[in-house]
């Protein structure tokens, strides 16, 4: 999930406690059934499966694209392309035929800080993916939770339960252990197929991306209150501005390959990546209507475990590798943290 849907994911994954408060403050009328219908459940499961498949697909497709030396240093162009896909998708689903949300305009100057933050939120993690293994990339994204908690405490004095804070310790330690051992070369039985490793610059990009994404998450919350907009409305305003901003950086930041030398299958993969981005955005509209805080959190964990598991299986590393301990610590810690936050007293 490369960032274009972070605003909606903040609503359904990063802050389940907010969803609980909203649910508690709105009594359910007696004439409305409290349980979703069978068709609604099937629809939710279908779009959840699509969202998970698209999220997993976009990570591994982008990794394959960035493995190509011609595209490894085309991050701003690639992110700009994704913002165009996001903007077009939101435009289509906001039309009366779909009616997924009602567009709401905001001033360009007013949106510039959020749009710039969105650029960093996408470009830095993409650079992390280009210079890291999928496993390290995805585990580092889990650090968004403790980093956001720190930012919220520093700027807003917002606190979390003691047990939740303690649960974040193994999360951070686990990411550190996995990142450390993932940078170490490992011998493979087949010398012709070296086991991929993470470079030091990949770790730096990953941590920088976590800081940028955490700041972006907090900034989204501020803009929600300031402009009284939904995540979809904010993203609809941001995406075009962010795309244009990145285009100005392309001549200075990107190494453009000779387009005629790029094989056709690589262009197909780029289109696939854009298609996955569109599916992620579309599926979010259907998921948010049918998900509660628990189901949203479970879906988020399933995506993390799936990406880490597939990345580990493809890496060729053994189950006794020390980085496996870090993976278990990270996933166990974040699951326990989520459980504490979902069940804390209101």
Give the number of domains in the chain.
1
Does residue 184 fall inside a structural domain?
yes
pLDDT of residue 234: 92
Is position 71 within any domain? yes
Residue 346: exposed, middle, or buried by beta-carbon count in 10 A (0-12, 13-18, 19+)?
Answer: exposed
* CA 224/CA 171 separation, integer angstroms: 29
**Cα 60 to Cα 301: distance, rounded to the nearest angstrom:** 18
Distance (Å, rounded) from C-alpha 3 to C-alpha 9?
A: 9
pLDDT at 100: 83
| Residue 65 domain-assigned (yes or no) | yes
Is residue 80 domain-resident?
Answer: yes
Better-scored residue on pLDDT, 344 or 147: 147
Q: What pLDDT does residue 294 have?
A: 64
Distance CA 85, CA 24 (A): 36
pLDDT level of residue 19 (50, 70, 90 thresholds): very low
CA distance 46 to 40: 10
Q: Running DSSP on this structure, what letter comes out for residue 259?
A: G
Q: Whole-model pTM?
A: 0.81
pLDDT digits (tens, 9 = 90+) for 319-346: 667 888 999 999 999 999 988 888 877 6
Has residue 31 been placed in a domain? no
The per-residue pLDDT for range 230-284, each reduced to its tens digit, is 888 999 999 999 999 999 999 888 888 888 888 999 999 999 999 999 898 888 7
**Per-residue pLDDT at 295:** 67
pLDDT band (50, 70, 90) for residue 31:
very low
Comparison of pLDDT for 217 and 33, the residue scoring more: 217
236 lies in some domain: yes
Q: What is the pLDDT of residue 98?
A: 83
Banded pLDDT at 54 (limits 50, 70, 90): very high
* Residue range 274-321, pLDDT digits in tens: 999 989 888 877 776 666 666 667 778 888 999 998 998 888 777 667
Q: Which residues contact 249 (CB under 8 A, 6 or more apart)?
A: 76
How many Cβ atoms from other residues are within 10 Å of residue 195's Cβ?
Answer: 17
Residue span of the structural domain in which 80 resides = 6-18+49-343
Q: Does a structural domain hold residue 258?
A: yes
Rg (CA), the chain: 20
In a domain? residue 37:
no
Percent of the chain topping pLDDT 90: 47
Mean pLDDT, the chain, whole residue set? 83
């Amino acid at each position: 999930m490369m960032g274009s849907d972070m605003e909606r994911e903040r609503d359904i994954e990063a802050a389940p406690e907010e969803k609980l408060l909203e649910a508690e403050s709105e009594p359910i009328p007696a004439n409305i059934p409290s349980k979703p219908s069978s068709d609604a459940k099937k629809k939710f499961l279908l779009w959840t499966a699509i969202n998970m498949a698209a999220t997993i697909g976009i990570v591994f497709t982008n990794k394959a694209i960035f493995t190509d030396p011609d595209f490894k240093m085309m991050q701003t162009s690639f992110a700009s392309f994704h913002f165009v896909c996001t903007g077009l998708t939101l435009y289509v689903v906001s039309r009366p035929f779909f009616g997924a949300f009602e567009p709401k305009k905001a001033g360009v100057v007013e949106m510039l800080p959020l749009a710039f933050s969105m650029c960093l939120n996408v470009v830095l993690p993409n650079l992390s993916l280009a210079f890291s293994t999928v496993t390290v990339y995805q585990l580092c994204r889990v650090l968004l939770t403790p980093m956001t908690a720190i930012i919220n405490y520093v700027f807003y004095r917002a606190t979390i339960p003691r047990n939740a804070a303690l649960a974040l310790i193994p999360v951070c330690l686990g990411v550190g252990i996995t990142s450390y051992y993932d940078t170490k070369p490992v011998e493979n039985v087949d010398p012709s197929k070296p086991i991929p490793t993470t470079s030091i610059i990949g770790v730096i990009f990953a941590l920088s991306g976590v800081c940028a994404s955490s700041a972006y998450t907090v900034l989204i919350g501020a803009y929600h209150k300031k402009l009284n907009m939904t995540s979809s409305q904010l993203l609809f305003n941001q995406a075009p501005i962010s795309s244009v901003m990145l285009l100005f950086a392309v001549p200075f930041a990107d190494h453009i390959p000779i387009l005629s030398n790029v094989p056709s299958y690589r262009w197909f993969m780029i289109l696939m990546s854009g298609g996955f981005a569109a599916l992620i955005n579309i599926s979010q509209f259907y998921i948010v209507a049918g998900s509660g805080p628990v189901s949203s959190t479970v879906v988020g964990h399933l995506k993390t475990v799936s990406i880490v598991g597939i990345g580990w299986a493809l890496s060729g590393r053994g189950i006794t590798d020390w980085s496996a301990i870090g993976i278990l610590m990270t996933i166990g810690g974040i699951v326990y943290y989520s459980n504490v936050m979902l069940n804390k007293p209101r």
